[in-house]
Amino acid sequence: MAAKQYENLVTLACVSFNSVWGDKAANLEKMAGLVEEAASVGNNIIILPELALSGYQCSDEFDRGCSMHRKLAETIPGPATDRIAELAAKWGVYVIFGMPERDQENPDLLYIAAPVIGPEGLLGVYRKMHLHIAPFTESRCFHPGHSLPVFETRFGLIGVQICYDFWLFPEASRVLMLKGADIIANPTASASAPGKEEFITHVTRTRGVENMCVAATANLTGKDRTALFCGHSIIAGGGWKLSQVYAEGGPEEGIVSATVNLQLLRAQRAKRPMNAGVCRLDVISKELKQLIE
C-alpha cells in the first residue's frame, strides 16, 4: 500500500494571548478574532495557549476545587469548540487551543485540555498528562490525561503536549514522533521569570531537533489573575540547519507565523537513528518496565 501523501508546505501561527481571567465570553470572542486574523493572511494551523479560554490561575479557594475553572469548564464538544469549528470550516484551517474540559460522564472531573479542530470539525482532544505540583495548583483542581494521541491533517500528523508535558518530559514528545507526528504543538502557560525567554527558546528548539519535527509553542502573555506571563511564542525545529528558529515573538500579544517545508523534515528524519533501526527501543522498553515495576 502506498504511503499517504500530505501537503509539504504548511504555514503555522502561534498566538501569544492575554486571557481575561475568568471571562470566557470575552476570551472566546478575542480568540475568534485572532483565528480569523491569522487565517485571513494564509496560516493553515493556528495554536493558542494553555487555558486561553478561561485564564490559567486558579481562584483563591483552589484547595476546595477552583470555582472559576469549575464554572467555566465545558464538555468537548461544547459551545466553545463549536464556535471555533465554525471558523475552521469557514477558513479551511486547523485550530488548537487550551481550555478547561468537563468530563462528559463524570462532571466532577476537570482536565486541562487542548481540542484539535479542523475544517471537517473536531478531530479529538489532548488532555494534559503531567500536572504541575505545588506551589502551582493544577494537581488540586484538575485530573491528568492518560493518552498520547496524534491527529491527522492534510499536512500530516500533529501531536500535542501542554506546558509541563513539553518542557520537562521529553519522552512524551519522542513517543509522538515515533507515532508519526510531523508537528508537536505546545499550548503553554509559562510565567515570567529570570531567563524564561531563553528557556522557552532553547527547549522548543531542542524538542524540534531531537525529533526532527516542527515544535510550536504558543504562550500566554500579560497579567492573568495575579501572575504575569511572558509570551515569546516560537516555531522551531530542524531544517536546512541542524536547529533553527523559524519565527519568534516578544512579550506582546500577537501572532507569530512561519512557513515550513515538511518534506525536508521528513526526509531528514528518515535518515535519523530512531527510524533506521539504531535506536535501542528493546533496551529502553525493558529498563522502563523495570522502573515501573
pLDDT in tens, 213-253: 999 999 999 999 999 999 999 999 977 677 889 999 999 99
Q: Classify residue 251 as exposed, middle or buried by CB count within 10 Å of its CB (0-12, 13-18, 19+).
A: middle
21 occurs within a structural domain = yes
127 occurs within a structural domain = yes
pTM of the full structure:
0.95
Domain containing residue 266? 9-292
Indicate the number of domains in the chain. Answer: 1
Question: What was the pLDDT predicted at 1?
Answer: 39
Catalogue the active-site residues.
Answer: 50, 128, 163
CA distance 220 to 208: 21
101 occurs within a structural domain = yes
- DSSP-assigned states of every residue in 91-148: HT-EEE--EEEE-SS-TT-EEEEEEEEETTEEEEEEE--S---TTS-HHHH-------
115 occurs within a structural domain = yes
26 occurs within a structural domain = yes
Q: What is the CATH number of the domain that holds 123?
A: 3.60.110.10
- Going residue by residue through the chain (293 aa), what tens digit of pLDDT does each one get? 356 899 999 999 999 999 999 999 999 999 999 999 999 999 999 999 999 999 999 987 655 568 999 999 999 999 999 999 999 999 999 999 999 999 999 999 999 999 999 999 999 999 999 998 877 789 889 999 999 999 999 999 999 999 999 999 999 999 999 899 999 999 999 999 999 999 999 999 999 999 999 999 999 999 999 999 999 999 999 776 778 899 999 999 999 999 999 998 888 888 776 665 667 778 888 898 899 88
3 occurs within a structural domain = no
